[in-house]
Amino acid sequence: MGWRVRVRIRRSEERKSALIPYQGSQLSPFGLTNSIANTSNQSLLLLPPSPSPQKVLVGDSILAGRDALWGLGAINKYLNDFSGQKLDNFAKIGSSLHDGWVTSVPQLYTDMRTKTAPAVPTTIVLNGGGNDVISVRDDCWAFNDKCRLQIDSAMEIAEKLILRMHNDGVQHIIYLGFYYAFNMTQAADYGTESLKRVCGAAAVDCHVADVRNLNIVVGWDGMHPGENLYAVHPPLTRPCLSQKPPTSFFTSYLFLGDAGYKQLAWRIWETKLEHNVPF
């Protein structure tokens, strides 16, 4: 007698179990085929499928910024609203393209691939490089050679990351550019133009969402867009800030609205529409 497959059957509000004799045509490497699954009045209780992200966000705090009301990044929230779909967010506050004290953007991508394998995202909304600039903020305020070398090095990492994504089977990338903030206009220009060259030469379909002409609403730190009850970086994790940190738990939460994040999300969406990037 051949192997048997135990199947759950729901009929007239009753649960019964049945033994179905094995027939080779009824099994595949992926489980039971439709010849069994479509049996009248039966529903199979199978294991859930592996995660299969189609559109994901990977980057730093701009994409990962928490929204206390919605429980996800504000850009993520708006892109979900615009697309009518759920985008998975793998961004992390404090991440940079270079290795640092927080998981780097390339490592975040690696971790995402490990977590969701063998699925490969169709589209990735990517950002990174802002924290690399902030780490040499004095040089980038002066916009000297050290600042330009830091940006060049970060763009080399971004170029390699985009190539990895292409080799993995990612089809489309929208890279969020740098906006004018923290008195680093020249660094934002240099970084965004460098991103455009990297994307333009990439083997994958890659587009930069240029946000330099937007008047981004920023929070008290002069860098991050305002957001509803955005928990700004606590004092011990804010080496990049020149401003005096908040002095109490209450004042470390500012009700600023999320207009700045919405502006960035809309520019990403405009880039998607302009270049017919699937979402």
pLDDT tens, per residue, the chain with 279 residues: 444 444 444 444 444 333 333 344 333 333 333 433 344 444 434 444 444 558 999 999 999 975 544 446 889 999 999 999 999 999 999 999 999 989 999 999 999 999 998 999 999 999 999 999 999 999 999 999 999 999 999 999 999 999 999 999 999 999 999 999 989 999 999 999 999 999 999 999 999 999 999 998 787 788 888 643 333 333 333 333 333 333 333 333 444 468 889 999 999 999 999 999 998
Helix (H, G, I), strand (E, B) or coil at 138: helix
Query: Is residue 65 a contact partner of residue 261, using CB atoms and an 8 Å limit?
Result: yes
Task: Say what the pLDDT of residue 255 is.
Answer: 41
In sequence order, what DSSP letters do the residues of 75-110 get, joined into one string? Answer: HHHHHHHHHTSPPEE---TT--SS--SS--HHHHHH
Task: Say what the pLDDT of residue 21 is.
Answer: 39
Q: Alpha carbon of 127 to those of 106, 153, 197, 248: distances in Å? A: 11, 15, 15, 31
Please tell me the CATH superfamily of domain 55-274, with its number.
SGNH hydrolase (3.40.50.1110)
Task: Say what the pLDDT of residue 144 is.
Answer: 98
Helix (H, G, I), strand (E, B) or coil at 55: strand
* Bond from prior residue into 278 cis (ω within 30 degrees of 0): no
Task: Say what the pLDDT of residue 73 is.
Answer: 81
Quick one: which of 256, 259, 194 has its CA closest to 231?
Answer: 256
In sequence order, what DSSP letters do the residues of 171-223 get, joined into one string? Answer: -EEEEE-PPS-TT-HHHHHHHHHHHHHHHHT-SSEEEEE--TTS---B-TTSS
Boundaries of every domain in the chain = 4-37, 55-274
Interhelix angle 259-274/74-83, nearest 10 degrees: 40
Task: Say what the pLDDT of residue 142 is.
Answer: 97
β-pairing, 55-58 vs 88-89, is: parallel
